[in-house]
């Protein structure tokens, strides 16, 4: 359930926003609250994030999800991995678009 993509998105979201509630994280990522809870527990278990309590006027006790040094390393590794995937997707689309342009030009001339 904790795919590399969800792990990456969670770490990317939590790094600048450690005080987000699980409900807010679920809304931002478009996944269920239960899945967020499961994934956060898995990240805590791996040592990627730590959970700290803080006082909040809305919530008497809320949580902060702080990336650990290990979590920062993991986020960097996942960022590079997804960058490579996205660049490969982009290149494939670029080739397909160029081919479609050539076909459209050829069809327009004919």
Instruction: Report the CATH number that the domain containing residue 33 is assigned in CATH.
Output: 1.10.10.10
User: What is the pTM assigned to this prediction?
Assistant: 0.79
CA 10 – CA 37 distance, rounded (Å): 11
pLDDT at 53: 85
Number of structural domains in the chain: 1
Strand partners, 50: 66
pLDDT at 2: 84
* Residue recorded with tokens 């040094």: 69
Q: Do residues 48 and 70 touch, judged by C-beta distance below 8 A?
A: yes
What is the span of the domain harbouring residue 20? 4-109
CA nearest to 77, candidates 37, 46, 45: 46
Q: What is the pLDDT along the chain (110 residues), one digit of tens a residue?
A: 789 999 999 999 999 999 999 999 999 999 999 999 999 999 999 999 999 987 765 666 688 999 999 999 999 999 999 999 999 999 999 999 999 999 999 988 76
Strand partners, 48: none
Half-sphere exposure of 53 (CA within 13 A, CB side): 4
State both tokens at 20.
Answer: 């987000």
Q: Which residues neighbour 109 within 8 Å (Cβ) at sequence distance 6 or greater?
A: none
pLDDT at 35: 96
């Amino acid at each position: 359930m904790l795919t590399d993509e969800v792990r990456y998105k969670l770490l990317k979201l939590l790094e600048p926003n450690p005080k987000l509630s699980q409900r807010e994280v679920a809304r931002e990522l478009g996944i269920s609250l239960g899945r967020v809870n499961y994934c956060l527990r898995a990240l805590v278990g791996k040592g990627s994030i730590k959970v700290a309590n803080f006082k909040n006027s809305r919530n008497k006790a809320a949580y902060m999800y702080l990336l650990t040094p290990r979590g920062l390393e993991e986020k960097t590794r996942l960022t590079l991995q997804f960058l490579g995937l996205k660049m490969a997707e982009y290149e494939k689309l670029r080739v397909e678009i160029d081919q479609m342009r050539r076909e459209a030009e050829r069809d327009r001339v004919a």
